[in-house]
Amino acid sequence: MIVQKNISLKKYTTIYIGGQSGNIYFPESIEDVSSLKSTLIDSRTIIIGKGSNIAFSDAGYKHDLISLNKFKKSSISVINKNTISVSSGISCARLAKLCYRKSIPGFEFLHGIPGTIGGALAMNAGSFNQSIWDCVKSVTIINKKGNIEIISSKNIKSSYRFVDKKNVLLFLEVLLNIDKKKNFDKKLLLKYTKHRNNTQPIGKWSSGCIFKNPSKKISASSLIDSLNISERKIGGIYISMKHCNYFINDGSGTCSDLIALINHVSKLVKKKYNIVLHKEICIYRGSHE
């Protein structure tokens, strides 16, 4: 197992901000993960995959991190006509593409989500009115005691961008249900891809959506758009003109810039609509802050 220390956390986030790291562990097997039991049960330890939806303080994060980027148990297997097994280190896009090649319907919505399956499970990621926990049959986890356990989806509560992880330290694998009622539409993934390319700032340093939608009927982007502040910039972080719930790093942005812009937008929305926007992005600070 590789262990690194005092390296820039920028390259471990899709928004490309963050200071220096503490220890970063790169487990390559279940045995490696098991050997990190004491690290896993430390509440300050952070698990990272592709680094979307997260940002680190400019002062860095001095506690332990575990990266699944080198985890070798990264596989997708179509068990039968009803079930797919996917390890947590697999990217959402890779799963969507495999299902497309095999004409399996129901997973096209994952294609444009920039993170891993493990990250998607942790926050109930989704798009186009679908979320990953709508498809989950069971998950294999490392529990709070540091042991491997298989849990039915019926025993884990989930809702919009929320998963009750009170007994979960790490998602290792998931069994996904194939919806036999859905018919495979070859054009659907291409339609979703085209829509994303037209409406989202693909290829920019971004964490994805900054805020959760206040409700099913009200989107955070519609509220921000109504403020007429597209491309508002603080430091090196600015609001995307293509999708105003995406904040972009021009390469010089800092975590302080990001927080300032988040607070600025939140205050404007609260003042105009009396609606409190809640962050979708997780911002991690060291113990000294």
Catalytic residues: 161, 209, 280
Please, are residues 18 and 61 in contact by the beta-carbon 8 Å criterion?
yes
CA 32 from centroid of its chain's CA atoms: 23
Torsion angle of C-alpha atoms 248, 251, 254, 255, degrees rounded to 10: 40
Q: Which of 215, 209, 214, 220 is nearest to 281 (CA)?
A: 209
Orientation of helix 92-101 relative to helix 186-199, angle to 10°: 150
Strand partners, 87: 173
Whole-number Å distance between alpha carbons of 24 and 45: 10
- 276 backbone dihedrals φ, ψ, rounded to 5°: -90, 120
